[in-house]
Chain A
Amino acid sequence: MTRRTCGRAVAVGLAVLLAQGCSTVSHTGRSGFSLPERASSPGEATFVSTQWSSSSPEDRSEDAEARRAEVEWALARMWEVASGVEQVGTVLEFTFWVERGAFTLLSQHRSAAGGEKGQPAKAESFTRELRGLLAVLAETRTGALVFTLHRERSRWRVDSAAASREEPPEARKHPARRMETTAGPLLAVQAMTKQVVRLLQVPAGASARMTVELTLEDDRLTGWKSGPYQAGSGGGVRPADGWTAQSLTLAVLPFTRGLGPRTVRVELSGTHEGASATSHWWVERAETLRPAPPDEAVEDVLREYRRLHAEIFHRYREEMVDSVKLAGAFTLEQVALCAIGGLVGKGLHVAFEALAPTVMRVVTRGGTAGMRWLRTQLVRAGRKDQELLRRLFVRVETEGFDSLSTAERKELTELLRRMEQSLTVKLKDKPKDALRAKAQQDFYGIFHPELAAVLKGSRGERYDIHHLIPLEYAHLFPELDINAAANLKALGKPVHEGINKLWNLFRMEVGDRASPEQVRQMTAITRRHFESWFNKVYEPSQSDALFQRAMTAALDDVRALVPK
């Protein structure tokens, strides 16, 4: 194929890719860790999220620069592998996930070839022809892309195609200007490579294969183990040659540009020919193996968590934002999300199940509701514990759970223990006040923003927010999010005072002996008699008489429930 036809192949590839469901990336910048203005569905919609909005020209320019750097990075990674291959007929396949201009390598594969040795291929022609395609894709596409490189006599021919697949959890979502690998991960990969190469041997005149599994979290190599080793029969064993370490390093390093916990499996092939004192090894396949899909109930939370983690890690690693500053930007929802993502998403919750069974049960089964439940517990716990959890989980987000010191792990353990123990203890008045303030903000700000301008009394004051199951009895329902949308109602002052009077009558009779069932029945009474005023305008001229009748009937019901 001539350069001209190759150029046409790239152009055709571009057209095909763009037609294969490319999605337009509408966001070009970041507005920080912020809540969307409104949940898509009042009350129960996921509302912890990183929010993307239109950005300043400076941000857009920086983003464009980062996307260009991502293209150069992807080109360089492919060329690093391709440049060492001379045998005509060799096929290299790279699969990337591209999102918002960020490239994440998912797999690379080299197919065996027994062709003749070709002439050296030139980097310039390889990169020049691919650069344009990648740049357009970085601007426009979200999804998996497969680049297949065919070694010809003096050049590489490139085919490209979109692949249909789910978004992988390790996908990066923010383009980075940085091209090189940071020192820590680079040193860890080099140390691993050195040890692996020592294991690679081929019997003289034979071939061999070995698999290595690497465990990674974000850009950190956290461990590795060698897998099955197979070798044909031959003479005395020959150690790997000097190129092997470089080949393995170059294959592994691109996989450090990913997010979250994962395993990368590397399959190495080696051969020995002639009288050489060493064997020649190359990476035949390298791919990311993902953890088993999480329980469906927590999938929505983990998806949100991954989005948040992607932004936190990007800010920390690429924008060099100090972790203390990052912690300061966390809302309680985000702290709760990180705690769930950091524990459940990495399977660490099992270690805390004995210590905090209720906490772990709710956060693992409750999805978004579980996250909100945890947030409510944090409001209850107060600022000191909020700060502690914020500090610990910023560390987990940026440096991994293993980076927590023994003292910090103890702090986390104690916090979870405190939280577990508090669940069945009556709330004090101070946390009740904090929970009411948060409930009022959530009700009008998130759950029902449309009511903020409607439900106002004659003096201009917004209606009171009432807890259907009162905070006084929250300890009887430890797995209930007492501040959940379903438990909050806006009431005009007369209705609120009236319902409070009913509850006071109940508590005077029952005292501290109220059972969960009695509280449910009381809640049913208030709902039965006053539901027509829940989240509705109370018009005194139309409602006063009705309300008095409702009060009389409700008082009778309460007296029947708790006879003297």
Chain B
Amino acid sequence: MTNDTSLPGLDRLLATCEKYSVQVNTRKPWGGASDAGTLLLGLPLDPMLAAFYSRLGGLHLDFDLFVEPCDEQVNGILMANEEVQPYWPEPFRSLVIFGCREASAYRYATVPSLADAQGLQPVVKVDPYEDFYALPIASNVDRFFDTYARYLELVYMDPEIREERGAWPVFPWDVPELIATDRTLMRMLVEGRFDFLMFRQGVGAERTHEEIREWIAQLRAVST
């Protein structure tokens, strides 16, 4: 896979932002962007993430999705991962953070240990607030952009929701129907391959596990 791989999910996300006039800031791509497989704190850079950075130097939706900038001025992806090293436990330190929900500690990361034969890594949303855990979002980075685009469509096409952040569906909790369309992800989920990120020990683990199990049940219900 090369850095000029097509990214239809990203195209859809950008088109959605344009269609609904969502404020989006992008950076110019940098010729020196890392190639797929380049090691980042010892972890391989996802091929689709590398393809993303060959197209854009970063992407920022105001108070929403923030994809780390990587250009000649700043290596955001490296900084974001270095930043959490002193604080995050394993296995979360072995994820590759590439974005966040702005102004929050929620992070989006790829999972190198779950890469497929082509090296494509699935995407998770990490909740580091209390007991660390992560929810699977997409089977690869471009699929993540596609799902997020569909989520924004859901939000912005409804004027009753659009203007009221407190009424937005919570991503990904409230949109199982979007997550479940990713068959590859669902298969991995059913096989238990994300369990090591979802079902952790901790003070409030039982409550969290129960909530995650309910969500997985919703995913399975809408995917059949």
Give A residues with C-beta under 8 Å from B: 328-329, 331-332, 375, 378-379, 383, 386, 426, 428-434, 436-438, 440-441, 443-444, 458-465, 470-472, 490, 493-494, 496-498, 500-501, 503-504, 507-508, 511-512
Contact = CB atoms under 8 A, between A and B. Distances in A.
B164 A331 contact: yes
Interface of B: 25, 58, 60, 63, 66, 68-69, 74, 76, 79-80, 83-84, 86-87, 100-106, 127-130, 159-161, 163-171, 173-174, 203-204, 207-208, 211
Nearest to B100: A461
A398 to B, nearest CB: 18
A426 to B, nearest CB: 7
A497 B83 contact: yes
A512 B211 contact: no
Given A440-B104, A444-B63, A434 B168 contact: yes
Contacts of A378: 166
B71 to A, nearest CB: 10
B103 A444 contact: yes
Contact of A461 (B66, B86, B174, B207): B66
B144 to A, nearest CB: 17
A501 B84 CA distance: 11
A433 B173 contact: yes
Contacts of B168: 434, 437
Contact of B101 (A332, A383, A437): A437
A328 B166 contact: no
A-side interface mostly? helix
Contacts of B174: 383, 430
B170 A433 contact: yes
A512 B203 contact: yes
A472 B204 contact: yes
Contacts of B79: 458-459
Contacts of A438: 165-166
Nearest to B173: A430
Contact of A429 (B60, B76, B127): B127
A328 B158 CA distance: 10
Contacts of B86: 497
A493 B161 CA distance: 29
Given A429-B211, A430-B174, A461 B102 contact: yes
18 contacts: A383-B161, A383-B174, A428-B211, A430-B173, A430-B174, A437-B104, A440-B103, A444-B103, A458-B79, A459-B79, A460-B25, A460-B58, A461-B102, A464-B103, A472-B130, A490-B103, A511-B203, A512-B204
A175 to B, nearest CB: 27
Contacts of B208: 429
A332 B127 contact: no
Contacts of B104: 436-437, 440, 464-465
A329 B159 CA distance: 8
A494 B83 contact: yes
Given A458-B74, A459-B76, A512-B204, 20 more contacts: A332-B164, A378-B166, A430-B173, A431-B170, A434-B168, A437-B168, A444-B103, A458-B79, A459-B58, A459-B68, A459-B69, A460-B25, A460-B58, A462-B63, A462-B103, A471-B129, A472-B130, A507-B130, A507-B203, A511-B203
Contacts of A458: 74, 79
B124 to A, nearest CB: 14
A155 to B, nearest CB: 56
Nearest to A506: B203
A535 to B, nearest CB: 13
A205 to B, nearest CB: 68
Given A429-B127, A461-B102, A464-B104, A375 B166 contact: yes
A220 to B, nearest CB: 28
Contacts of B103: 440, 443-444, 461-465, 490
B33 to A, nearest CB: 15
B25, B159, B164 interface centre (most CB from chain A within 10 Å): B164
A465 B168 CA distance: 18
Contact of A332 (B69, B84, B166, B170): B166
Contact of A500 (B60, B83, B87): B87
A196 to B, nearest CB: 45
Contacts of A511: 203
Contacts of A434: 166, 168, 170
B101 to A, nearest CB: 7
B76 to A, nearest CB: 4
Contacts of B74: 458-459
